[in-house]
Amino acid sequence: MTEIKQFLSEIDNDTRKSDAHILLTILEEVSGYKPYLTGSIIGFGQYHYQYESGREGDSPVIAFSPRKQNLVVYIMPGFNEFESLLKNLGKYKLGKSCLYINKLSDLNLDVFKEISRLSVQYMQQNYQCKT
Query: Each residue of 9-22: pLDDT tens digit?
Result: 999 999 999 999 99
Give, in degrees to the nearest 5, the angle at Cα 97 between 119 and 38.
Answer: 85
CATH code of the domain covering residue 76: 3.90.1150.200
Above pLDDT 70, what percent of the chain?
100
pLDDT given for residue 51 in this prediction? 86
Q: How many CA atoms lie within 13 A of 38 on its CB side?
A: 13
Residue-wise pLDDT for 51-109, tens only, equals 899 999 999 999 999 999 999 999 999 999 999 999 999 999 999 999 999 999 999 99
Q: Is 75 left (phi over 0), alpha (psi -120 to 50) or beta?
A: beta
If one counts the domains in the chain, the total is 1
Q: Look at residue 50 in the predicted model and tell me its pLDDT.
A: 87
Domain extent, residue 113, equals 2-130
